[in-house]
Amino acid sequence: MEILGIDIGGSGIKGALVNAETGEMLTERYRIPTPSSRKPDDMAEVVRQIVEHFNYSGPVGCGFPSIVKEGVCLSAGNLHPSWVGVNIDELFTQATGREFTVLNDADAAGYASMNYGVGRGKSGLVIMITIGTGLGSGAFYNGVLLPNFELGQIPYKKYKKIEQWAAASAKEREDLTFERWGKRFNKFLKYVELIVAPDLIIVGGGTSKKWREFSHMINIETDVIKAELMNHAGIIGAAVACLREHHHGHLSEKS
Ligand code: BGC
């Protein structure tokens, strides 16, 4: 089934049509920068433009950069604080006239990796980390999603959350080399290892495209691998989650 997957991030809102049964992207990715206000109505308008661009009338899967429970945004993350309490599902349905399945963006990216990428068949605790404006995390135990893990929220030194120090946005803001930023990212992974003792960590998100430039800075005990679907994983995973919800009424990995 062909489903429109949308990945909402702090800097860009991206969409593509996906074959949700095979995890294959069927079109080019279409990207519109996230409105600088990062407010609900402005972002809903961009979502509308993406749906219109694909001239799409079916259900939409959407990864969203915050805690999402039953379609409702429960934390602001790096978006405008007025998002908290907003029913994202309803807002986007109103804006587009389409049905939405909304889940956390890193959970969506993990979903794609666990079904069609390097996480396929991996058991135990697998943590997907996405590097972008924030640090996202998706947790899977024996392939089943444990939604809304927020490992980027660990406080660190003077920072309210470690993602403010170790995400791609910090690299950009402070103009850090991959070496210097990579050290920070490794420190973050060390905490992840210490706190949840994963069996495998998969690294995705926009910055994973530059894997070659920072992977040598990673030295923790746990295996750390790159998500080969890279920054398409968020789009693909959102579409897959949408299909699962439609067919099974839940987001369980095993069908
Ligand atoms: C949010 C997460 C999100 C991550 C990546 C963080 O700021 O708290 O929910 O997954 O950014 O977008």
Check whether 176 has a pLDDT greater than 70. Answer: yes
Q: Is 60:242 a contact under the CB 8 Å cutoff?
A: yes
Considering only CA atoms, give the Rg of the chain.
Answer: 17
Q: Is 135:188 a contact under the CB 8 Å cutoff?
A: yes
Domain covering 121-229 assigned CATH 1.10.10.10 in the classification: no
Q: For residue 155, report the distance from its CA to the centre of ligand 1, in Å.
A: 14
Which pLDDT tens digit goes with each residue over 102-127? 999 999 999 999 999 999 999 999 99
Which DSSP state fits 255? Answer: -
Q: Enumerate long-range contacts of 187-194, CB under 8 Å, 24 or more apart.
A: 188/135, 188/151, 188/152, 188/154, 188/162, 188/163, 189/129, 189/218, 189/220, 189/222, 189/224, 190/220, 191/151, 191/154, 191/156, 191/162, 192/127, 192/129, 192/137, 192/151, 193/220, 193/221, 193/222
Q: For residue 9, report the distance from its CA to the centre of ligand 1, in Å.
A: 9
Top-confidence residue, 246 or 211 = 211
Protein residue whose Cα sits closest to atom 9 of ligand 1: 66
Residue 107 phi/psi, 5-degree rounding, is -65, -40
Which pLDDT tens digit goes with each residue over 63-101? 999 999 999 999 999 999 999 999 999 999 999 999 999
Q: What is the dihedral of CA 238, 239, 245, 251, to 10 degrees?
A: -40
Which pLDDT value is given to residue 228? 84
3-state secondary structure of 121: coil
Q: What's this model's pTM, rounded to 2 decimal places?
A: 0.95
Q: Is 253:144 a contact under the CB 8 Å cutoff?
A: yes
Ligand 1 pocket by C-beta < 6 Å: which residues?
A: 65-67, 75, 77-78, 104-106, 130, 132, 134, 136, 150, 152, 163
Residues of the chain with CATH 3.30.420.40: 2-107+232-248, 121-229
Protein residue whose Cα sits closest to atom 7 of ligand 1: 77
pLDDT confidence tier of residue 255, bands split at 50, 70 and 90: very low
Q: For residue 136, report the distance from its CA to the centre of ligand 1, in Å.
A: 5
Smallest CA-to-CA distance from 127 within 32, 233, 204 is with 204
pLDDT confidence tier of residue 229, bands split at 50, 70 and 90: confident
Which pLDDT tens digit goes with each residue over 114-173? 999 999 999 999 999 999 999 999 999 999 999 999 999 999 999 999 999 999 999 999
Q: Which CATH superfamily is domain 2-107+232-248 in?
A: ATPase, nucleotide binding domain (3.30.420.40)
Check whether 218 has a pLDDT greater than 70. Answer: yes
Check whether 252 has a pLDDT greater than 90. Answer: no
